[in-house]
Amino acid sequence: MSTCMNVGSDATHPIASAPAACGVATDRSVHHPLDRSARVFVAGKGGLVGSAVWRCLTREGFTDLVGPGSAELDLRERGAVLDWFAAMRPDVVVLAAARVGGIKANATRPAEFLSDNLRIQVNVLDAALKHGVERLLFLGSSCIYPKFAEQPIREEAVLTGPLEPTNDAYAIAKLAGILQVQAVRRQYGLPWISAMPTNLYGPGDNFHPEHSHVLPSLIRRFHEAKESGARQVVNWGSGTPCREFLHVDDLARACLHLLELYDADSPVNVGTGTDLSIRELAELVADVVGYRGSIEWDPTKPNGTPRKLLDVSRLTALGWTPRVALREGIARTYTWYVESRESGTLRH
């Protein structure tokens, strides 16, 4: 049984309930099927989320996908982004590009996380507005919510309390993106939307020893320990914080679902609605990997937010449910990790 417990307050803030743009629904489903021949710009196509969105759209029959890599188009460079939009004229934008990382990366490089993400977002959103992109989905992060938000976290909890200090810079950037999308809706009436994914994992993840998120970090750590015959693996923190995990292919399906069935001012949580402690997660990953040594914890390292479970009722009311169970998803991700490592294509 999970050791996760409820914490938090019950409050609301205008960013989550701002008035809708003229003529745009405030909180209801719509039927807005996307033309499969429309040009769709997947910003961040080379990353964990962008690559999954690309796979999903390809499976669904979209024939004109564009997603230049960072070497071809640096989204932090405003002039380059504006020129690219003028030349390519996308009809739909999925803004999945971001500088991302785990607790250590966020805590040690907050200036980069704030500056890079703000520039990426402002450049893409401004260019999309200038060139009349009708449909846009901005992907934020569940870290936008207060550290001690009431669980499960409803979308209305935004800005109702202090953020988790280890990732506040990243969270502030994502909050700015949500507000810019809402501002465009209010001022220009465009049906742009935002989604807040929970902790993600899957093929294409970053397995860097210092900059990765918790699940890929555990996969790498236990695999290397199994290979080396290490008797113990020491993980950061106490293992008591609770987290929710969503396979990135489920998120990609949710993105298309929202683009076609949602048009409202509020961001939408995307998750599974269930969580487990980091200790339980570590034991599950170790079992999948086949590591049989001791699992230890270093309580001198930061834990992060005590619990982060999303209320996903707004999304499930639209008819969406996750398909990939956690154990199955970890097993698939581990297989991908081993194959990518052996082939030399692993992302670091």
| Amino acid type, 139 | L
Catalytic annotation present for 145: no
Q: Where are the beta strands (DSSP E) in the chain?
A: 39-43, 64-66, 92-95, 135-139, 193-197, 199-201, 232-236, 242-243, 245-247, 268-270, 276-277, 294-298, 307-308
Say which of 170, 201, 262, 291 is annotated catalytic.
170
Quickly tell me which residue has 């639209």 as its tokens: 318
Q: Omega of the bond prior to 152 within 30 degrees of 0, cis?
A: yes
The C-alpha atoms of residue 85 and residue 131 are separated, in whole angstroms, by 7
Nearest to 194 by CA among 205, 203, 206, 185: 185
- Residue 251's SS3 state is helix
Quickly tell me which residue has 């339980």 as its tokens: 280
For the annotated catalytic residues, the residue numbers are 170
